[in-house]
Each structure stands twice: as C-alpha cells, then as structure tokens.
Amino acid sequence: MKAGSRLAQRVFRRAAVVLLAVLGTMFAGIDTCRGGTPKSEYTPREQARAAEALVGRITGSHASDFRVVITSGQRNGRDWFAYYTDADRRIVLEGNTGVSVASALHDYLKRYCDYHLSWCGRHTQLPARLPRPESREEKSSPYTYRYYLNYCTFNYSISWWDETRWQQEIDFMALNGINLPLALTGQNTVWQKVYRRLGFTDRELERFFSGPAFFNWFWMGNLDGWGGPLPQRFIDRHEALQRFILAGERSLGMMPVLPAFTGHVPPDFEKHFPGVKVSKTEWLDYPAVTLLNPSEEMFGRIARLFLEEQIATYGTNHLYTADTFNENLPPDSDSTYLARMSAAVYEGMRSVDPQAVWLMQAWLFYHQSDFWTPERIEALLGAVPDDRMLLLDLFADYSPVWQRAESFHGKSWIWCMLQNFGQRQCLSGTSDTVAGEPARLLHDPEAGNLKGIGLTMEGINQNPFIFALMLENVWRDTPVDRLSFLDGYLHNRYGLRDASSATVADVSEAWRSLLHSVYSNHTNPDGGKQSVLTQRPVFEADRAKLSCPRNFFVRDSLLRAWDLLIGRAEELAPSDGFRYDLVDVTRQSLVELLDSLHFETQRAWHAADTEAFDRGTERVLTLILDLDTLLSTRREFLLGPWVESARALGTNAAEKVLYEWNAKTQITLWGKPGSPLNDYASKQWAGLVRDFYRHRFALFYEAEREALASGRGFDSEAFKRTCLDFEKRWTDGSDRYAVDPAGDEVAVCRRLHERYRPLFE
C-alpha cells in the first residue's frame, strides 16, 4: 500500500471518529426530544458512541487520536479499564462501560498530558501532539458502587443548572469513575401526575410543592410549599432536563438513583381521604407535614402509583432513594412501627419493580443518635431483605455510624465523604481519613458488606483538593500516599513541568503546611468553622465570656502557606489552578484576621474606649471591602452568576422575581426571618460580602456606638429586629451583580498580603 493511500485512510478514519463523537452527543440526548419512556439500558455499542462523544468534548481536535473499545464484562467481579497504543499509533481507550473508558481517558491525560480538571481552577490545555502510552496501563475498581451527590447538593449547588452545566458534571463524573449518581431533577412532574389521578387540584398542590431553591427538603419530607408557588413552566422544563440528565448518565453505563414514596403527602390529604390514618411531624420551625401511616392500604396504593408514573416518565435502573425520617423523629418509637414503615416503603417499590433496591441515607442514625438505639436500627433495617437495601454512611469521613449500627446488619453499604455543610467556604478536609480509611475497610471483616465509596457533599465548587484526593480511591484497593498524591496533583494543577526547582520546593512546602493543618480536620464537625463575617453579629453582654474566635487549625500553618504562595506568584501566574488557590488561601487568611479584629472591637466597647472602638470598626469594615475586591477577581466567588442563572430560568417578570428571591433567600435568611437556619448556607461571594454582610456589621457597630454614647446598655432585641428588616429587604431587592470577574488575582493578592500580613504579627 502506498504511503499516500495509508495517509488518506488515516485522515478519513480520524474524520469519522470526530463525526461519530458529534453524532454520539446528539443521540445520547435523543430521549429529551420525545415523549414515552426513556431507555434505561444502553448496549456496548451505544456506550461506545457516548464515550466517543465525551472524548470529543474533552480533547477537541485531538479526538481522532483515540479509539474507543467497549469490552463487555467485569474482570474478577470488577469494573476495569485499560489504555495503550495500537499498531496505527492511536491511543486505545478500553473498558467494560462508558464510565470505564472515560476513566481511562482521564488517567491517560493526567499521566501523560499534565491534565487537571476541577470546578475551581483547571489546567486542561493539551500539547500540540499527544504523547503515546509507553505500555499498556490497566486498572480495576474494588468498589461495585461509586456514588455521587447529596439531596442538598441539588439545591446548594445545582438549583439553576441547565443542560450545558449538567453535561459538564456528567463528564466530570464519568472521568472520575462515578457509576451511581443521585438523580432527583424533575420529580415534581411525577408527584403531579400521581395526585391529579387521586383528585387533587393544581391549586392544592401549590401548597405542597416548594420553591426551586428548597426542593430537597420538600423531597425529604421536611417542609411543604416554602418558596413557592412553583410555576408549571418550571415543572415542565425540569421534566425535559431530567430526561436529558438520565440519557447522558445511562448512555455511559451509569445507574442513576431515582426517588421512591416515603409517606409524605400533601397538606390537603385529610380533606380528600378523611378516614385514612395520618400523623404530623415537624422539622425545625416549619409547619408540620403530613405523614401517611404505613399500615394504611392507601400507603401502598400511592407508593405503587408513584413508581409506575416515574418509570413511565423516566425509566429505571432499579435503584430508589427513600428517607422516611430525615431529621424528623418518627411519630412512634415502637420497633414494630419502625419495621412496618420500612416494610411498607420497600413493598411499594417491590410491587412495581421486583428488582428494586432501596438506597437509604444513614444520616438519621447520626443526626438523632439518641433515638436510634441498636434495637430500633435493627428493626428499621431488618424488614428489608439484605440484598435489596444499600446504606450510605453519609458522614463517614468525620463521624461514621457503621460500627454503632453493627455494619448495617448485613446490608450492603457505601463509605461516604460529606466534607461540608451548606456549601460554606472554609479550607477543610479530613485528608488522612479519606486517603486511608476506604482501603483499610475493604480488608476489615468487621466492615461487613462494604460495597462502595461516595461523595455526599452538601455543596461542590470549593476545596478541589480534598475531592480529588477522595476520587483517587476509585480505581485502587490500597491506601493513597498523601504526599505522593499531592506532588502529582500540584504538578498537573499548576503546570509545574517547567517550573524552577525553588518554586516547586516552595509550593510543595506551602501545601504540606495546608495538608497537615486545614486538611487534617478532626475537631470541627461542620466542615470547617464559619467566620463571624457570614453570621449575623451577636452582642456578648458578659465581658468575661468574650473570646477571640479560633479555627480548628494552627493559624501559623495557613500564614506560612500564604507567604510561600505569594512568593512564587509571579512565576506561577499563568496557571489558572494556582490563581484560584492563591485567592482561596488569601480569602481564608483574611477572614481569620477579620475574626480577630472584630473581637478587638468588642473588647474596646466593653472598655468604653470610644477611640479604639471607632478605629477597630473602621478597620473591620475596610477589610470587608478589601475581601470583596479579592473575591471579585474569580468567577467562583461571585454572587452574580448564582442570581442571574436563577433569573434566566424565568419566562416572565413574575417568575424571574420568584427565582431571584429563592436564590437570595437560600443563602441568607434560608427560611422566614429569625429561622434557626439563617446563614446556614452563607457564601463568601463578592457582592454578598459588600452589600449584605458588611451592611449588617455597619448596623451592628452603629447600634453599639449609640449605646456607648448614651450610656445605656446594648439592646440586642432592637438590633435583631433592625437586622432582620434589612435582611428581608435585601432578599426582596432587585440589585444586579457582576457575572464576570474584575481585576488581576495575583496583583490583588499581593496588595492585600502587603497590607494585612503585618497585622498577624
């Protein structure tokens, strides 16, 4: 064969690969364009097309350098992947599923192309010519299940996502080996179909469905109606979005987990069915929700209707999530009732889908541990066959419950990293536990039926290091060496291949300082301490009780990392990952300082030192403005994208106002003014820091200043009323916020380091 002919054939083959990638993208989502039941299972050929489309999205013009091969069947009971160079010098990505092939691609890119992908900073530019693997690389996963997402993630991070953003996350999941994603979007469609069949009007369901920023607590049976009424256009839009999500996940071989009925019924239920037994259960300060008694025939009827409608609308992979008592105590503590409730929930699944597997969060055993005695845990779990239930040890990275729950009495379970609450920003993680515990438990007979690992964070878009470390476990059955992993992580994230040895040494030292401090959190269960910045100021009347806020780590370790990163900023400025980390470390350092400076203002107030008080308050308010300027340099730290993406879903002015209110309320008041959840989901975001948190501090200091001048005591209740009034006006407001970053990260960080670093001495 002539060389020219061979070249022409090679060019043709590469063009065909690119075309298939494009067609795969089109066909993967074809179910979103038509009615009927979507496909739940995809053939190896279809998964290969979906994987080729992913390769195209990730590698662009390099897609023709790869060949995708799906070889069905696990090896030794495990998912596996391999990559190697074939006779035509193409890079073969082989695996037993589309997820395995995507993981092969990710492993190759990290090892050969210094590739790094995260939500917060990335290094994804590929070389002009891709290097070929020197030998065949092969890996397998010891985990049957690699779980992803938390009910809370669907609101704290995902509330306003569209198809484009979801596609990015599906690709991220596949690249990291996730095969068991939680899939809650579009659930209101199913509820609407069920309750319309039972005679409920849409007006009655308006009191049932929550607003779009509070779905997850409605889905878990904590509240009714808060943040609504929900427009029909939103319900319809999210049905189409869910079809898109499920097609994308299933086409790569993932097994999405869909919800099941848990007994939560509309507030007008008793009006329609007056003779049916129900109970009331309350969550925090929200009105009681209605829970259908499991002994009632109606319970099974609704459970069957729900699953029938859901399968008809979205298909099924036979995995269903249901949490009967999420942060709610059962109305009856008797073990017989608990077993009956559990049996009824499972029977509602099994009667429609004989292959049903119930996935349950074990969060209730942690959150209300006093109630959940060993006997009650056994009663709840024992009513379901062992092979039909899968438990999530949701907070295993910090406070595992598997031991107290006797390894879940023979049920399969998943070791999970929760890491954060409310997607609040604080450098934090349990890196030693995350790196070692999953692999240790694989070989511990006391761990029972451990079948997987999972990421169950309440929010993403923060702390990329600890998530990357956790995901390193997916394709290995031995502990991760943290220092070795860190070196590779930084090499790729910062593009250190051509960096000077001195820069590499300083960056390594900076991150080791972080690794052994902020990323060794074993004393703060909230995923890191919340700064006074993001909490409504509280007056301490007893001077003896004043104390300077301290975090769970030694502050000097953070400052050492800050100094070293600033010192190498000029050389590493081209790296997007470095620029994000520099801003994040600077942010954490400044809020630590702010906590101390605010404490000094309170000492000055109690000493009646007006001059020191005024000087201190001015310093705090200036620091908050500077912090806002810092956060403005990165899109990840902007309020604008959160609010504007909410407004963009509105199809008319009223919908835009409703969605904006939902977006602003969730991250501030959360509930009604004065709710115990106020500031739970606080964010250190530019715009929010300047216009919300700083204004609250200004109101607080002004009230303290007036109290000093008048000689009267500080009126905490009057201040709280003033503050709540402001907070409500802000959430109801319509101010616009920037969606694009402003300023140079490195220059701003240097200026703030020069200005504020001496204040720590």
Could you report the per-residue pLDDT of 657-697, keeping only the tens digit for each? 999 999 999 999 999 998 999 999 999 999 999 999 999 99
State pTM to two decimals: 0.94
pLDDT digits (tens, 9 = 90+) for 580-597: 999 999 999 999 999 999
Q: Vertex 341, ends 337 and 343: CA angle to 5°?
A: 115
Residue ranges covered by each domain of the chain: 3-139, 145-480, 531-553+575-760
Spatial distance between the Cα atoms of 311 and 320, rounded to a whole number of angstroms:
11
Closest by CA position to 504, among listed 527, 485, 488: 488
pLDDT surpasses 80 at 2: no
Per DSSP, the residues of 298-344 read HHHHHHHHHHHHHHHHH---SEEE--TTTTS--S---HHHHHHHHHH
pLDDT surpasses 80 at 78: yes
pLDDT digits (tens, 9 = 90+) for 622-644: 999 999 999 999 999 999 999 99
Residue 24 — pLDDT band, cuts 50, 70, 90? very low
Residues above pLDDT 90, as percent of the chain? 89
Q: What pLDDT, on the 0 to 100 scale, is given for residue 536?
A: 96
Closest by CA position to 642, among listed 426, 459, 421: 459
The domains spanning 3-139 and 145-480 adopt the same CATH topology? no
Thinking of the domain 531-553+575-760, which architecture would CATH place it in?
Up-down Bundle (1.20)
Spatial distance between the Cα atoms of 252 and 162, rounded to a whole number of angstroms:
19
pLDDT surpasses 60 at 7: no
Spatial distance between the Cα atoms of 703 and 710, rounded to a whole number of angstroms:
11
pLDDT digits (tens, 9 = 90+) for 265-309: 999 999 999 999 999 988 999 999 999 988 899 999 999 999 999
Thinking of the domain 3-139, which architecture would CATH place it in?
2-Layer Sandwich (3.30)
Element (H, E) at 663: helix 653-666
| pLDDT mean across residues, the chain | 94
pLDDT digits (tens, 9 = 90+) for 690-723: 999 999 999 999 999 999 999 999 999 999 999 9
Q: What pLDDT, on the 0 to 100 scale, is given for residue 22?
A: 40
Whole-angstrom CA distances from 371 to 284, 333, 721 are 17, 8, 36
Spatial distance between the Cα atoms of 153 and 151, rounded to a whole number of angstroms:
6
3-state secondary structure of 268: coil
Question: The domain 145-480: what is its CATH number?
Answer: 3.20.20.80
Closest by CA position to 153, among listed 467, 571, 595, 615: 467
In this structure, is the dihedral angle defined by the CA atoms of residues 703, 709, 714 and 718, taken in order, positive or negative? negative
Helix axes 576-606, 745-756, angle to 10 degrees: 30
Residues pairing with 353 in the sheet: none
Residue 35 — pLDDT band, cuts 50, 70, 90? low
Q: Provide the phi-psi class of 410: left if phi over 0, else alpha when psi is between -120 and 50, else beta.
A: left
Strand pairing category for 264-265 and 289-292: antiparallel
Structure tokens at 147: 């779980």
Whether the Cβ atoms of residue 683 and residue 639 lie closer than 8 Å to each other = yes
Element (H, E) at 80: strand 80-85
Terminus-to-terminus CA distance in the chain, angstroms? 75
Spatial distance between the Cα atoms of 105 and 62, rounded to a whole number of angstroms:
12
pLDDT digits (tens, 9 = 90+) for 237-253: 999 999 999 999 999 99
| Helix extents (H) in 473-524 | 482-494, 501-515
Closest by CA position to 65, among listed 21, 23, 124: 21
Q: Amino acid identity, residue 463?
A: N
Q: What pLDDT, on the 0 to 100 scale, is given for residue 28?
A: 45
